[in-house]
């Protein structure tokens, strides 16, 4: 080291390096002996550097220079094995053999570069700022587009709010003749009795005959009857007569589902078309515009679902201070859907001095406690045995293995002279899958479940009612309260887990004194649910088999095996451990 220092101090006295050897001391940089040349890359070359001085590393396009000097060797093909063996360094390896982290950023594949390192024009469109898009792309299809490209169509906005945009009231006054019908004899005025006659009803059902006089007297009523017995008309007709003429919003009807709210609103409009009373609907899944407009304009009757009504109450759009009649319809369904806390909040906002009506298919203990809190000295009207299907419905179980369920469904539809079929499934995905398979078999099918938009649900229900679709595949959203005239058959593709839902499902047929058939496909996994249904209805449901159908054998066809699979009745906790 001392020799190098002395040689550097002496400068000119140091011996010149031999040919092929490196100089151990730098030369003095002067304008004369250091020409400022530029290399092929455009950089200045200031000559050799001192031994301790760092020299910038340059990348060569043709390959790297051998360590011992000499000429540059051309870079070998990256696909050859020799290049992989000879080029072991990170920079010397072919690009295909280098690890991704060793490659310069500009040489890495675009998907491996950080997004900030990519050129702006190479970034995905969602990552580019709006100002980075080319001007031609910004104006394409717009008013400043000179390329002649067709204008881009904006996605259509689904502004569906209500299936009926026009009023059904007659434009010109109608002379109503005096009515002498069964409905006028129980207290209804001529206008209401005339509207009922136009709908084709001649005699009131038992629930209507007993409830209408009590509601006209202003009594609180708890009405429970089998599904399909006309509970909607039992409270709609006397309410319209009690309200009289147009005024403030004085009647509120709460429903658990949108379809039921639409059905009740439609019933009120049809029965009141010869009066000046107005009705609106408040429900979710649609915009707020028409609902706020109707409430601000003023209506007499409001059919609503709890969630959307609470939204409009909290933002101050409406209030319930003037409510004179409160109707809680299908309260047992509200209990199942978890709406009772919301219902209690709505009831607390209503006027204290009001008439309250409960209409439900069953009265569990939770509903009874709610009735004690919300009603004042109510009169209970019970019609028929609540747990049994209507006498007009013929229903049976069809045992089958799971792999043959759809084949049996097709065979039942092929051998049945059906007018319209309602198929119930347990899940939304199952409903979509069955609908697609039925469409492949050339059936006209509509689907209805909670994942469908409100427009799709309304179109499916209206198309099924009008006969456009011969099959409606639905979940239990269509099992409660929907009045669909002309349903000839109900098929339970999946056995309901809740025995009460079985009665409601098959109750979609055999309505208004008409007859109907209900089939339930029972697999090995459904035996316990099937027995629960039999215990609920209090009778044994017959098992049926189709002739000439290639069944796969199952223990379902063996009565002894079914008895062995029956669940053991649990012992009471009070009797457990006691001597007998």
- Report DSSP letters for 405-465, one per residue: HHHHHHHHHHHS--S-EEEE-SSHHHHHHHHHHHHHTT--EEEESTTS-HHHHHHHHHHHH
Task: Give the integer Cα–Cα distance in Å for 100 and 91.
Answer: 12
Higher pLDDT, 248 or 390: 248
User: Is the predicted pLDDT of residue 65 greater than 50, yes or no?
Assistant: no
Inter-CA distances, 478 with 304, 473, 508, 533, 563, Å? 17, 9, 9, 19, 33
What does the pLDDT read at residue 177?
A: 87
| Mean pLDDT along residues 393-407 | 93
pLDDT for res 332: 81
pLDDT tier at 87, thresholds 50, 70, 90: very low
Q: What is the mean pLDDT of the chain?
A: 77
Which of 222-231, 411-420, 477-486, 553-562 shows the lowest per-residue confidence on average (mean pLDDT)?
Answer: 553-562
Q: Please tell me which residue, 3 or 207, carries the higher pLDDT value.
A: 207
Q: pLDDT confidence of 452, banded at 50, 70, 90?
A: confident
Average pLDDT score over residue span 208-219 = 94
pLDDT at 379: 93
- Looking at the chain, the whole-number percentage of residues with pLDDT higher than 70 is 66
Q: Work out the average pLDDT over 246-274.
A: 92
CB-based contact 501:394 (threshold 8 Å):
no
0.85 exceeded by pTM: no
Q: Which of 563, 546, 562, 564 is nearest to 554 (CA)?
A: 562
Share of the chain above pLDDT 90, in %: 37
Q: What is the pLDDT of residue 285?
A: 83
Predicted confidence at residue 445, as pLDDT, reads 95
Tell me how far apart the alpha carbons of residues 277 and 27 are, in angstroms, rounded to a whole number.
109
Mean pLDDT computed over 38-45: 52
Average pLDDT over residues 228-241: 90
pLDDT value at 128 more than 70: no
Closest C-alpha among 187, 190, 222 to residue 204: 187
Whether residue 364 is predicted with pLDDT greater than 90 in this model: the reply is: no
Mean per-residue pLDDT, 388-415: 90
Mean pLDDT of 345-367: 88
* Lowest mean pLDDT across 265-274, 305-314, 360-369, 492-501: 360-369
Q: Are 434 and 420 in contact (CB under 8 A)?
A: no
Q: How far apart are CA 193 and CA 188, in angstroms?
A: 6
- For 327, the 3-state DSSP assignment is strand
State whether the Cα torsion 399-404-409-412 is positive or negative.
negative
Reference 234, options 221, 246, 247; nearest CA is 221
pLDDT at 171 over 60: yes
Query: What size, in residues, is the chain?
Result: 580
**Which domains occur in the chain, in start order?**
185-383 (3.40.50.300), 393-565 (3.40.50.300)
Least confident of 262-266, 275-279, 400-404, 565-569: 565-569
């Amino acid at each position: 080291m001392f020799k190098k220092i002395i040689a550097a101090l002496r400068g000119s006295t140091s011996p010149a390096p031999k040919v092929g050897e490196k100089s151990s001391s730098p030369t003095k940089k002067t304008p004369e002996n250091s020409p400022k040349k530029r290399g092929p890359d455009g950089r200045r070359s200031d000559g050799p550097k001192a031994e301790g001085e760092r020299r910038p590393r340059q990348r060569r396009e043709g390959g790297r220079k051998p360590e011992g000097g000499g000429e540059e060797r051309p870079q070998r093909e990256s696909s050859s094995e020799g290049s992989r063996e000879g080029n072991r360094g990170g920079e010397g390896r072919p690009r295909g053999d280098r690890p991704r982290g060793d490659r310069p950023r500009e040489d890495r594949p675009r998907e491996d570069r950080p997004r900030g390192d990519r050129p702006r024009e190479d970034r995905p469109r969602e990552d580019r700022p709006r100002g980075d898009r080319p001007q031609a792309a910004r104006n394409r299809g717009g008013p400043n587009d000179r390329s002649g490209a067709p204008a881009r169509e904006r996605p259509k906005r689904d502004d569906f709010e209500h299936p009926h945009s026009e009023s059904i009231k007659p434009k010109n006054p109608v002379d109503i003749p005096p009515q002498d019908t069964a409905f006028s004899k129980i207290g209804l005025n001529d206008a209401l009795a005339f509207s009922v006659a136009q709908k084709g009803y001649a005699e009131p059902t038992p629930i209507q005959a007993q409830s209408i006089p009590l509601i006209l007297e202003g009594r609180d009523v708890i009405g429970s009857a089998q599904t399909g017995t006309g509970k909607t008309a039992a409270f709609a007709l006397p309410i319209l007569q009690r309200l009289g003429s147009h005024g403030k919003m004085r009647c509120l009807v709460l429903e658990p589902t949108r379809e039921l709210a639409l059905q009740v609103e439609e019933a009120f409009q049809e029965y009141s078309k010869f009066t000046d009373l107005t009705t609106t609907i408040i429900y979710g899944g649609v915009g707020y515009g028409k609902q706020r407009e109707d409430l601000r304009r003023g209506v007499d009757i409001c059919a609503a679902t709890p969630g959307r009504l609470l939204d409009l109450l909290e933002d101050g759009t409406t209030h319930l201070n003037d409510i004179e009649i409160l109707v809680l319809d299908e309260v047992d369904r509200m209990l199942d859907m978890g709406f009772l806390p919301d219902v209690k909040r709505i009831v607390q906002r209503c006027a204290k001095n009001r008439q309250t009506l409960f209409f439900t298919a069953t009265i569990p203990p939770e509903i009874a406690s709610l009735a004690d809190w919300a009603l004042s000295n109510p009169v209970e009207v019970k019609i028929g045995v609540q747990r049994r299907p209507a006498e007009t419905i013929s229903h049976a179980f069809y045992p089958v293995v799971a792999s043959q369920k759809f084949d049996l469904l097709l065979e039942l539809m092929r051998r049945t002279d059906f007018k319209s079929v309602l198929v119930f499934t347990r899940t939304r995905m199952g409903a979509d899958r069955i609908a697609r398979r039925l469409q492949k078999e050339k059936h006209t099918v509509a689907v209805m479940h909670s994942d469908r938009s409100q427009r799709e649900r309304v179109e499916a229900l209206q198309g099924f009612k009008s006969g456009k679709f011969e099959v409606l595949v639905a979940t239990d959203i269509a099992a409660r309260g929907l009045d669909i005239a002309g349903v000839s058959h109900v098929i339970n593709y999946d056995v309901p887990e809740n025995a009460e839902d079985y009665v409601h499902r098959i109750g979609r047929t055999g309505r208004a004194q008409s007859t109907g058939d209900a089939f339930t496909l029972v697999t090995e996994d459904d035996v316990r649910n099937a027995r629960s249904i039999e215990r609920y209805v209090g009778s044994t449901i017959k098992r049926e088999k189709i002739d000439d159908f290639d069944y796969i054998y199952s223990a379902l066809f063996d009565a002894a095996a079914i008895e062995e699979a029956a669940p053991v009745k649990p012992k009471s906790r009070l009797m457990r451990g006691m001597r007998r």
